[in-house]
Chains A and B, each alone.
Chain A
């Protein structure tokens, strides 16, 4: 066991303070009695109550959730298909170009993605709104899914697919009964990544959204420009809470599965 030197303690405290102080402040002030964000006037939960009466914010949240669920799901299907094509058909013409193009949105500045999508929608006369935001989110989150799924597929043992076909499964059944269940964890984490990206996107949504399709980040941003209210703090605190719970549950599940696996393997070797 290493000893904790003062230097180590200091760097840990500083590091965490740097990361979390702003968030802690935000959470604390969401329980502030006063309307002034920077002046503490006692504990209160009234901003949470008023948050749920703010129809604008609730509408925006609803739009965001619908966009995120739809975009993440479509992006997962397309991204998984792209990952399969890239790992399986390594010899087709223009593969290098294709893989480069799939990854381009990863490094492309969001402003450019947003602007080009806006130009496209205007050019083809697509009315901006819910569907344009969704399409835009599919476009930029798909490549993230591809990256996640592709890295799983690279370590995938192709012989289990061959075994399935050898046992009489057609290629389609092989995919749904063998390939997909095995890569499901990667597909799921791709989906969650796409969901998160879509939930907190501001730039691309601002470019491609239209009337009636204001997302939560856009709403918060526009309200902040009018002045930060504790209501926004409350909204953000709820978001932080949701994310924290999600991360916690995911890591507990992973940890549990690892422990279980280890125990199984030990049992297998003990009982051979």
Chain B
């Protein structure tokens, strides 16, 4: 069975037409004065899904999250959570909890009372609170820090307290606003997998806001790529990466080469694109643009092959150029190849072996080529 991105998913309610979404944004618009933060947005999130809102700062992702938490009211449209329109419900009566980017720990309370705060608001009996707090401390491995105040903790520990506090009330949905933004790289990578395990274990719906695409790709079941208050594409990480639906998404996620040209032939699920950069691209596509129209072709650097010898059919999906730059990254090597047309394309090659006989060097003439299914056609 073929699958995008070498991943098989057993959890995919969004592909089931009978599945009922857990959270629905329907035609939601939010304006701040003249500024439209969220623009007529419609989006479904499913129960137990790990959903990421990804975008550059100011794209409206945080506003969307804050509307879900209840800190902002939509200007129009409705937000439905578990069958109930929650647009008018204040934050303190919503069955959602949020983990803040700054962690927002109460500085005058110990770790224990921070975690128990929400339970005390609900009037839970003291013994039960103590039990739940102990359970949460164990979950985030902070048992010996119960009596400390937030300023006596390191950044990673604070992050865990914030997480434990937002999970203590067992919310239906946990909202995470840049949850790992303040951690250093190594800790961030560890914590990503911990969060995924936790979400699996607790069976909760997570909605995370992030500007870090790697974070979103690693953790999320699905990603919504946002720009200027609109959702550009909602799909699994593999789909977003391998089959971006637009120039914006292709360019925003990962590295990409975009070859521009005109469609010279199309039919039978295949099209031929005369690219301005010297390539004649022949590729498989679902519903390609009509012959004669302008189109782009997006291809990821690792899908390009750099060889000294000409490929078998040098008339399609291949072009000649010379090595312009070589970047050695350890796990892979990145080549910048200057094509004869003058365009520089990026190609990366995995360093699967420690020693390579006669590696490609600077200024060498090379062929750049790719297969029929290596990239996607972007309609403009």
Residues of A participating in the B interface, judged by any CB pair closer than 8 Å: 157, 159-160, 162-171, 173, 177-178, 181-182, 261, 264-265, 267-269, 271-272
B residues in contact with A267, CB < 8 Å: 152
- Distance A162 CA – B102 CA, assembled complex (angstroms): 12
Q: Is the CB of B151 within 8 A of A168?
A: no
Residues in A whose Cβ lies below 8 Å from that of B157 = 268, 272
Which residues of B in the span 59-107 have a Cβ within 8 Å of any Cβ on A? 69-71, 90-93, 96-98, 100-102, 104-107
Number of B residues, CB within 8 Å of A: 33
Known: A166-B97, A168-B169. A268 touches B151 (CB 8 A): yes
A167 touches B90 (CB 8 A): no
Instruction: Return chain B residues, CB-CB under 8 Å to A162.
Output: 69, 71, 91, 98, 100, 104
Cα distance A170–B120 in the bound complex, in angstroms: 12
- A159 close to B102 (CB less than 8 A): yes
Q: Return chain A residues, CB-CB under 8 Å to B98.
A: 162-163, 166
Interface residue? B181 (CB, 8 A): no
Q: Which residues of B contact A261 (CB under 8 A)?
A: 151
Contact A272–B121 (Cβ < 8 Å): no
Task: Determine the distance from Cα of A162 to Cα of B70 in the docked complex, in whole angstroms.
Answer: 10
Q: A162-B104, A163-B98, A168-B92 are in contact. Are A264 and B118 (CB under 8 A)?
A: no
Q: Say yes or no: is B165 at the interface (Cβ < 8 Å to chain A).
A: yes
For A162, give the chain B residue with the smallest CB separation. Answer: B71
1/0 per residue B142-158: CB within 8 Å of A? 00000001011111110
A272 touches B156 (CB 8 A): yes
Docked complex Cα distance between A268 and B153 (Å) = 5
Q: Of all chain B residues, which has the CB nearest A163?
A: B104
Query: Which A residues lie within 8 Å of B149 (CB)?
Result: 264
Chain A residues whose CB sits within 8 angstroms of the CB of B118 once the complex forms: 167-168
Pick from A167, A178, A182: contact of B165, CB under 8 Å: A167
Set of chain A residues within 8 Å of B105, measured between Cβ atoms: 160, 163
Looking at B90, B93, B98, B152, the one whose CB has the most chain A CB atoms below 10 A away is B152
For the complex, give the distance between the alpha carbons of A272 and B97 in Å.
Answer: 27
A-B contact pairs, 10 of them (CB 8 A): A157-B102, A157-B104, A163-B106, A163-B165, A168-B93, A168-B121, A265-B152, A267-B152, A271-B154, A272-B154
How far, in whole Å, are A168 and B156 apart by their CA atoms in the complex?
25
**Is A264 a contact of B151 with CB atoms below 8 Å?**
yes
Q: Give A74 Cβ to nearest chain B Cβ, in Å.
A: 25
Query: Does B108 sit within 8 A of A, measured CB to CB?
Result: yes
Closest to B153 in A: A268
CA distance A165 to B93 in the complex (A): 9
Known A-B contacts A268-B153, A272-B157; the reply to A167 vs B104 at CB < 8 A is no
- Please determine whether A159 and B100 come into contact, CB atoms closer than 8 angstroms: yes
Measured between beta carbons, the chain A residues less than 8 angstroms from B16 are none
Tell me the complex Cα distance, A162–B62, Å. 14
B168-186 interface (Cβ within 8 A of A): 169
Task: Judge if B122 is at the interface, Cβ distance under 8 Å.
Answer: yes
Contact A169 B104 (CB under 8 A): no
> Is B117 at the interface (CB under 8 A from chain A)?
yes
Instruction: Name the residue on A nearest B107 (C-beta).
Output: A182
Q: How far is the CB of B89 from chain A (nearest CB, A)?
A: 12
CB-CB contacts of B117-142 with A at 8 A, as 1s and 0s? 11001100000000000000000000
Complex contact B156–A164 (CB within 8 A) = no
Contacts of B108 in A (CB 8 A): 181-182
Chain B neighbourhood of A269, CB < 8 A: 154
Given contacts A167-B118, A168-B118, A168-B122, contact A160 B104 (CB under 8 A): yes
Q: Other CB < 8 Å A-B pairs besides A170-B92, A178-B106, 8 of them? A: A163-B106, A165-B90, A166-B92, A167-B117, A168-B93, A264-B152, A268-B152, A272-B154
- Determine the residue in chain B with the shortest Cβ distance to A180: B108
| Across-interface contacts of B117 in A (CB, < 8 A) | 164, 167, 169, 177
State A160–B93 Cα separation when bound (angstroms): 17
B38–chain A nearest beta-carbon distance, Å: 18
B151 in contact with A159 (CB, 8 Å):
no
Please, how many angstroms separate the alpha-carbon atoms of A261 and B96 in the complex?
Answer: 34
How far does the alpha carbon of A181 sit from the alpha carbon of B165 in the complex, in Å?
Answer: 19
Q: Give Cα distance in the complex from A271 to B108, angstroms.
A: 21
Contact between chains at A167 and B97 (CB < 8 Å):
yes
Interface pair A173/B151, CB less than 8 Å apart: no
Please tell me if the beta carbons of B104 and A159 are within 8 angstroms of each other in the complex: yes
Alpha-carbon distance between A188 and B107 when the two chains are bound, in angstroms: 18
